[in-house]
Every structure is written in structure tokens, then in C-alpha cells.
Structure 1
Amino acid sequence: MRFKTNLKNIQLVGALSSLEKITWLRLDDEHVRFTVIPDTGSQVWALLPMEFIFDSVQLQSAEAQNTINLELPLVPLQRALKSALNATSANLRLTKKDGIPILSMTIQTSTVAQGNQGGGQGSYSRFSRGDNGPGHFAGGFGDGDDDDGVFNIEPLETHLHREREKIITQDIPVRVLHPDNVEMIMQPKVREPDVHIQLPPLLQLKAISDRFTKLAAASSRASNSATATAAASNPKLELSANMHGSLRLSLTTDTLDVTSQWDSLENPELDPSQLHCPLEEHPSTIFREAGPDKWASVRVDGKDWSKVLSVGRLEGRVIACFADEHALILYVYVPQHDDVQGDDCVVTYYVSSYSA
């Protein structure tokens, strides 16, 4: 079993690491699959082309398509990737240390060091053995030709910038999983969505969601109610959308009722060839025909929702699919690099709805 590669895209793992401590990673000749299934909270499924994250891949195993399945901790991986943010190169290889499988990341960086300037401003003179005697700092001596023994003395440049190369190695413990165990990890099946809508910029949505969560905490401190305190420690936000371009974020408690709304958003057209029913019978068509007052809603944990919105760092287009009172599915379309041809990659987030 062999895996060695150069890293090309580290932003994706950073977005995943905010959700859970462990991820399942499946590698084969063509794809990389990330799966994050926490005990509670949102699930993540990502199937990406190998060249989206890695370069110069060496992959070999006894399984079909050279498949390798790994379980790895996201926190130390993210810590290692932070070291690679400004690296000139970073490579990753599967190896063993003391019989334990590890992913060893070797990061090469170049830093610019500036020396001390020392005393003075780098002034200089020419040494002469003229009429004033040896050792006199004056003009040159001789007859003025190139062999007169006089040289222009240069200052000692102690402030020059020098590049220094630094090599860092970080070892990440992993578990090699049996293929049969990984095949049992199934993506959840969800009914056809009632509403699908393109979300506003996620960093903007995250800022408002975090503000609502803080408001819930502040209102609980103002109230001595045990019920309010418990609700504020795990605040639930309500997300609603319709098929007429509107999205609504709400927080309702015993002492609060706040709402933010976005309008003129896009409800993307569906591809009839991808549907399991005629377009005119699809739930989203029924919601569209019911008018702008017909909303699909889900309730999400405020803290978990904030972690999900960290995917905004990937700067991709996000389509939210609402299964009313059941679940919210986010499809994050991550643009590929300039040197990679093909459609955008898709990362799927599955967020269960809490009951009212």
C-alpha cells in the first residue's frame, strides 16, 4: 500500500475540520471522498476529482482502482495544513512509525531574514601609502592606471535580505479501514425538496446567524428563567425559503422575536432528466404555484449552523434545498483551479431539522 502526493488545495479540509474531529477519507485512481458523520449535528459528503486537491499522485493498493480507506483526525490535519499555508511546497505520504500508520506531511518554506546593520551607515574610504605615510586614509596612490593598487572598498552590507529554507515535518496518526466497513457508510436519502434557492454570501449569513445566537445568550442572562437559560445554551434558528426568491432567518424566544430576510434571490431551474417525477408534479412546482406566502422551514442548532457556514471560505455558489420540517441539504459548488478542466466540485451538507 502506497500513497504519496503534493498538496494543492487545503481550504476544503479547513472547512470540514470545524464540524467534527474525525473524517473518513477514501482515495482511488480518480477521486477523493471525504465523509464526516458526527454523533450530533451536520453531516458532510464530498466526492472530488483527485487533481482538485493533489498533484503528482502515487497511489497503490491491492484493492480495485488502488482504493485506500483511511480514518484521520481533522484537528491535527488542520494544524499541519496551517503550517503549509505559505509553503513553497508540501507533500503528503502514507508511512509507518513504530508500527503505527501515519500521514507524514513535509512542508518546505522560504523565509526572508534581515541581518543587523551594525554601527555606522556603511561609509568607507580608500587606503593610501602616499606622501603622508603608510596607513593614511586619503586618496589613491600610484600613477593612476588600473594596477595602481587602489581598490574601491565597499561597505559591509549587514542589512541584506537573505532567504532561508525551513523544512517542517508533521505526522498525523491514521487508521487504515477495511473496504467493507466503509461501504456501510451510506449518504442519507432525502425526499424531493419543496424549495431550492441560492443562498446569499455565506459570510454575510454567518455574521447575522452568529448575532442572533449571541442575542439568545444575552436574553437568557437578562432572564432568571431556567427554561430561557437552557434554550440560550442551545439556541434554535428557523430558516425559511419560498420559490419566489426569498430567504428568512428567525429567532423566537420568550423575550425575543427577530427576523432577517433576503429577497430577489435565485430559484435555479431543475433538470427534468434528473427528476423522479414529471416537473409539473414536483413539490417545488407546487410551492411555486402556491405563491410567495408558501414557505418551507427547518430549525437548526445555532452553533452547529455557524460551523456549517464556515464553508463560505471556499467561495463557492451554494444551493439550499429545503425539505419542509425535515432537513436542509446544502450543495456547495467549489470552483476548480485554472489548470483543471471540468465542472465545479460539489460538497454536500446534510442538516437535520429539529422539531418545533
Structure 2
Amino acid sequence: MRFRTGIVNVVTFRRIIQTVGKIQKKVVMRLGQSEVRIICNSDEGGVQVWSTIRVLALFEDYRVESKSGNEIALLLDTDALEQVLHSAPGNEEVVMKLAKKNDVCVLNFQIFGNSRMGRRLTVSHDVRTEVLRPGELERLKEPMCPEPDVHTLLPPLGKMRTIAEKLRGITDIVAVHANHSGQFSFSAATESIKVEVEWENLTNPVIGENDPSQEAEERAPVDKQRMFAVLLRTRSLLKFLNAHTVSNTQTIACICNRHCMIFYVYIGEAADSGGVLTFYLPAVLDD
């Protein structure tokens, strides 16, 4: 079993780890031949993250070898990993490899840089890890959700997070609404106050599950004004909105009416992205 790579985009890698670390402190990182998958699936609020990242978006000289189809799955502590990546904020060369020290599996990081005197320096860090067996991976199942009722291309997540922070001071539950006319809203209410923030003229993208070969007259007519809704825990929504540090281009929100919300956070441009972080937020059931 071997794994070694250079990290060419340390900042983005750190931001991804920082984002998923807000959901769960222990995450699974599956190292495949062309993709790296980072999985969070046991948040106490039911939030899950299933991310797929292209190797070339973050790494170079990438090599992974194992008897399990040349795939290795590691259980990692996000705080420890983020701390190591934070120690290499500049243009330093960073090499990450799987190693064993004192019979303990570690991810070893070698950071190469120069001193103020121009001397070549190497700093080494170890992050303890656990290699998961194939049987343990089989128990990891991505959530089964119904087909979304509406998809919306969201405004910048940083601005949405500022609004959600203010709503947290009102209630623990936020109602999210969207329709096929580009309307999207957050609302919060108590017995004495109601606050609603609405965005208009947003884009409703067509996602792959719609069959483009289907004749237009065969498709069910869409009521563009109908609002689809889901109730979310404010805390869960804010955990997702920490992804504003990763997304500077496109994020698509999908509402499965009264069931859940799915968010696709693209790394880079959606048409040629380096990957996507998929967040699943379960609905709070109203009586």
C-alpha cells in the first residue's frame, strides 16, 4: 500500500478541510486514481457531505497503490490536518505521503521552503490516521433522496451567511422557499416577530436528471410560481454556509419539498470545475 503526492493548491485544500471540519471532526478521505472523495456522514444534526475532487485540481505527481483496486481510504482528524496545511500558506513545495511510524499509520507532510538567509529548509509534520478496511467502506452509503422539485443558482454564500447569522438570533428553525421563477427566500418567525429575506431573478439551472431528449409536449407542465419549501435547523444551515470560503463561483441549491435540501458547491467554474462538495441537510418535520 503506497500513497504519495505533491500538493499544488494548498490554500484550496485547506479551505475544503476547514469547511468539512465544521460539519464533523473525523472525516473519511478516499484516495482513488483520478478522484479524491471526502466524506462526512455522522453529524449530530444529520448534515452530510459527499465530495468528489479531481486529483489534478489539487495535486501533482500523484501515486496511489493498493490491493483494493488502487484505492486507499483514510480516517482523519480535520483539526490536525488543517493545522498542518495552515503552516504552509505561501508558495512552499508540500509533499504528502502515507507512512508508518512506531507501528502507527500517519500522513507525513514535508514542507520545503527557504530561510531568510536563503538556505533550503524542510519541515516535517505527521497526522495520525487509520486505514479503513473494504468492509467498513461498504457501510458508508450516500443519502437516498427524491428528485428535487426545484434547482436554484445561489447568490454569494458569504452574503447569505451574514443573513443566516442574524436569523439565528430569532429562532432555531429557518424556512427556505424557492420556485421556478428565480425566487429564493429565508424566513424565520416567532409569536411576536417574522423576518423574511428574498432574492429575485435568480437562475433555475437544468440538472442532469432531466432528460433532454424528451419532447417538450411530453413533459409535465411546470407551475413557475409554485413555492417549494423545507424547514432547516439554523445551526445546520450555518454549517453549510461555511463553504463560502471554498465557493467563489457557483453553488446550486436543490429543494426536495419538505424532505431535505441538497447543495452543490463547485470548486472553480461549474463547467470545468475541480470538483464539487455535495451537502445534504435534512428537513425538520412540521406537525
| TM-score greater than 0.5 by the shorter chain | yes
Aligned partner of 1:14 in structure 2 is 18
Q: After alignment, is 302-311 or 192-201 more displaced?
A: 302-311
1:167 maps to which of 102, 122, 129? 122
1:269, distance to aligned residue in structure 2 (A): 2.6
1:259 paired residue number: 196
> CA offsets, 1:56-83, max 9 Å, x none?
112221222x111111111111111111
Q: 1:106 aligned to 2:103?
A: no
What residue is the counterpart of 2:259 in the other structure?
A: 326
Q: Tell me the TM-score normalised to structure 1 length.
A: 0.72
Of the three residues 17, 24, 35, the one matched with 2:28 is 24
Instruction: Give 1:35 deviation, angstroms.
Output: 0.8
1:228 paired residue number: none
Whether the 8 Å contact between 1:330 and 1:350 is mirrored in structure 2 is yes
**1:109 Cα shift?**
3.5
Q: 2:56 aligns with which of 35, 51, 54?
A: 51
In structure 1, how many angstroms separate the alpha carbons of the residues matched to 2:55 and 2:184?
35
SS of 2:235 mapped into structure 1: helix
d(CA) in 2 for partners of 1:321, 1:343: 19
Does 1:240 pair with 2:177?
yes
SS in 2 for 1:174: strand
Q: Once the 2 structures are TM-superposed, how far is the Cα of residue 245 of structure 1 from its aligned partner?
A: 0.2
* Matching residue's letter, 1:354: V
8 Å contact kept, 2:187–2:195: yes
Calculate the TM-score normalised by the size of structure 2. 0.88
8 A Cα contact 1:102 1:173, kept in partner: yes
Letter matched to residue 43 of structure 1: Q
The one-character-per-residue Cα deviations of 1:109-152 (angstroms, maximum 9, x if unpaired) are 3454xxxxxxxxxxxxxxxxxxxxxxxxxxxxxxxxxxxxxxxx
Quote the offset at 1:281 in angstroms.
7.4
Contact 1:87–1:108, Cα closer than 8 Å, also in 2 = no
Mapping of residues 125-204 of structure 1, within 5 Å: 162-163=117-118, 165-204=120-159
Against the structure 1 CA distance between its residues 76 and 91, is the aligned structure 2 distance closer, same or farther, given a 3 Å change threshold?
same
**Dislocated runs of 4+, deviation >6 Å:** 277-282
- Could you tell me how far 1:343 is from its partner in structure 2? 4.9
1:173 deviation in Å?
0.8
Q: Which amino acid aligns with 1:199?
A: L
Kept after mapping to 2: 8 A contact 1:300/1:351: yes
1:61 paired residue among 54, 63, 66:
66
Residue 164 (structure 1) shift: 5.5
Check conservation: 1:24, 1:35, Cα contact below 8 A: yes
State how 1:181-330 maps to structure 2 within 5 Å.
181-213=136-168, 215-216=169-170, 235-271=172-208, 274=211, 288-289=222-223, 291-292=224-225, 294-314=226-246, 315-330=248-263
| Percent of aligned pairs sharing the same letter | 26
- Return the alpha-carbon distance in structure 2 between the equivalents of residues 346 and 268 of structure 1: 16
**Separation (CA, whole Å) in 2 of partners of 1:323 and 1:79:** 37
Tell me what 1:142 maps to.
none
Listed as ranges, the gaps of 5+ residues in structure 1 are 113-161, 217-231
* 1:70 lines up with 2:74 in the alignment: yes
> 1:55/1:274 Cα in 2 relative to 1: closer, same or farther (>3 Å)?
farther
In structure 2, list runs of 5 or more residues that go unmatched. Answer: none
Deviations 1:274-328 (A, max 9, x none): 58x987777xx65x42x42x21111212122112111121223111110111000
Q: Does 1:353 align with 2:283?
A: yes
- Contact kept, 8 Å, 1:87 with 1:110, in 2: the verdict is no
Matches within 5 A, 1:85-96: 85-96=89-100
The aligned amino acid for 1:177 is L
Mapped partners of 1:205, 1:70: distance in 2: 33
AA in 1 matched with 2:187: S
More strand by share: 2
Q: Aligned runs of 1:33-48 on 2, under 5 Å?
A: 33-41=37-45, 42-48=47-53
Q: Superposition RMSD on alpha carbons, in Å?
A: 2.4
Q: Secondary structure at the match of 2:148?
A: coil
Partner of 1:5: 5
* In structure 1, distance between residues paired with 2:209 and 2:35: 27
Contact 2:33 2:63 in 1 (8 A): no
CA contact (8 A) 2:236 2:281 kept: no
Q: Is the 8 A contact 2:150 2:179 kept in 1?
A: yes
Secondary structure of 2:158's partner?
helix
Residue pair 2:253, 2:261 contacting (<8 A) in 1 also: yes
Aligned residue-pair number: 279
